[in-house]
Amino acid sequence: RKEVEQDPGPFNVPEGATVAFNCTYSNSASQSFFWYRQDCRKEPKLLMSVYSSGNEDGRFTAQLNRASQYISLLIRDSKLSDSATYLCVVNALDTGRRALTFGSGTRLQVQP
């Protein structure tokens, strides 16, 4: 079983739609959680950190459910520029290192 699992998609949605991605992680010792965005043939870039209380940044809302070990990302009012791969990322501090464990990513295609 992969440490971080995501639905690969693609999610094809029209502009203005609301879309949600989920991600599950297997290491219960995971402490930090993130969503990264990766455009085609580019490096990953941090979209937002995910906090236990949930957090929002403009059209983006992230939620964490520690009991069920899943993380979600909600995108409202989708824009064409949101088309990208969204990577779910966790950091398990029990390993003593700070390297990130990435999911395989969920591809989003927003259509006009």
CB nearer other proteins, residue 45 or residue 79:
45
Nearest distance from residue 49's CB to other proteins, in Å?
8
Q: Does 4 bind other proteins (CB under 8 A)?
A: yes
Distance of CA 29 to CAs 25, 58, 69, 76, Å? Answer: 10, 29, 10, 31
3-class secondary-structure state, position 43: coil
Q: Does 109 bind other proteins (CB under 8 A)?
A: no
Binding region for other proteins (CB under 8 A) out of 10-18, 39-47, 50-58, 67-75: 39-47
CA pair distance 48, 25, nearest whole angstrom: 17
| Residues 89-108 close enough to bind other proteins by CB under 8 A | 89, 91, 96-105
CA pair distance 11, 3, nearest whole angstrom: 22
Tally of CB atoms within 10 A around 8: 12
| Residues 17-36 close enough to bind other proteins by CB under 8 A | 32
DSSP state of 52: T
| Residues 48-87 close enough to bind other proteins by CB under 8 A | 49, 87
Nearest distance from residue 103's CB to other proteins, in Å?
5
